[in-house]
């Protein structure tokens, strides 16, 4: 039996599928709830700079993903199939495009685009990078939960863009949402393909639980500064 054949018979996400789904649900609901609260407060006082401030940490996450994905490739890429390296690179490019596009919305709203990690997302960023140091699948697992959590904000964000006539924001988020389907599919595919041992399973679960705790408690509307 070849190594590939042996590997295909093992692990993958199946042994932890229920727990992964549970964590993803918690992350998505928590972040979605925080987003709903933000827009409810914003409706009472729709000052464009507040929206710019809300988008700032999200914009930073886009470029931090690019940095992290490129580093994932540099450190671990040669342990993956070439087609998966290419897919991670495509994901990385799309995150850089999101940074550029969301940056445009922020500037249009009168804000400034972050060029260093904002305080509101520092714990998130540090956690992601610490995961990268641990294991080749750890940062992928953390990003999979984090990307899932962001999907909880999409409906409210599109609705707000429509409500306030922000056509650029509407178009850009529609584009981002389409890309995110690819990112989530890729995250799941990579985890399922490369989890081979019980240690891999433990590392993936550890990353996902940590990221779930983080996103469920750190994206509160109160954390958004007024300017």
Q: Which stretches of the chain bind Fe ion, using CB under 5 A? A: 62, 95, 98, 183
Question: Quick one: 50 or 98, whose CB is closer to Fe ion?
Answer: 98
Question: Quick one: 62 or 203, whose CB is closer to Fe ion?
Answer: 62
Question: Quick one: 41 or 184, whose CB is closer to Fe ion?
Answer: 184
Closest CA to 84 of 134, 140, 138, 135: 140
Q: In the bound complex, what is the minimum distance in angstroms from residue 2's beta carbon to Fe ion?
A: 34
Q: In the bound complex, what is the minimum distance in angstroms from residue 71's beta carbon to Fe ion?
A: 16
Region for 11 from its dihedrals, namely left if φ exceeds 0, alpha if ψ lies in -120 to 50, beta otherwise:
left
Question: Quick one: 68 or 201, whose CB is closer to Fe ion?
Answer: 68
Question: Quick one: 98 or 135, whose CB is closer to Fe ion?
Answer: 98
Q: In the bound complex, what is the minimum distance in angstroms from residue 1's beta carbon to Fe ion?
A: 37
Closest CA to 118 of 195, 5, 11, 223: 223
Q: In the bound complex, what is the minimum distance in angstroms from residue 145's beta carbon to Fe ion?
A: 12
Give the containing element (helix H, strand E) for 129: helix 122-134
Closest CA to 55 of 160, 180, 184: 160
- In angstroms, the Cα distances linking 174 to 60, 188, 216 are 19, 22, 25
* Cα gap 36→31, rounded to integer Å: 9
Q: In the bound complex, what is the minimum distance in angstroms from residue 200's beta carbon to Fe ion?
A: 23
């Amino acid at each position: 039996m070849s190594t590939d054949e042996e590997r295909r018979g093992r692990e993958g996400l199946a042994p932890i599928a229920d727990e992964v789904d549970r964590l993803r649900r918690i992350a998505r609901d928590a972040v979605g709830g925080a987003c709903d609260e933000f827009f409810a407060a914003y409706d009472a006082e729709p000052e464009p700079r507040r929206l710019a401030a809300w988008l700032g940490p999200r914009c930073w996450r886009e470029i931090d993903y690019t940095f992290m994905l490129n580093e994932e490739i540099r450190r671990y890429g040669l342990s993956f199939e070439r087609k998966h390296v290419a897919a991670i690179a495509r994901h990385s490019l799309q995150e850089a495009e999101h940074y550029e596009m969301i940056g445009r919305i922020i500037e249009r709203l009168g804000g400034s685009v972050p060029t260093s990690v904002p305080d509101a997302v520092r714990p998130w960023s540090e956690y992601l990078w610490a995961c990268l140091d641990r294991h080749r699948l750890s940062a992928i697992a953390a990003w999979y939960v984090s990307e899932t959590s962001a999907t909880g904000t999409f409906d409210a964000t599109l609705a707000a863009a429509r409500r306030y006539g922000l056509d650029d924001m509407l178009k850009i988020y529609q584009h981002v949402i389409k890309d995110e389907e690819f990112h989530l599919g890729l995250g799941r595919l990579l985890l399922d393909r490369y989890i081979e041992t019980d240690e891999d399973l433990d590392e993936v679960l550890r990353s996902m639980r940590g990221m779930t705790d983080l996103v469920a408690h750190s994206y509160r509307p109160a954390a958004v500064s007024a300017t």
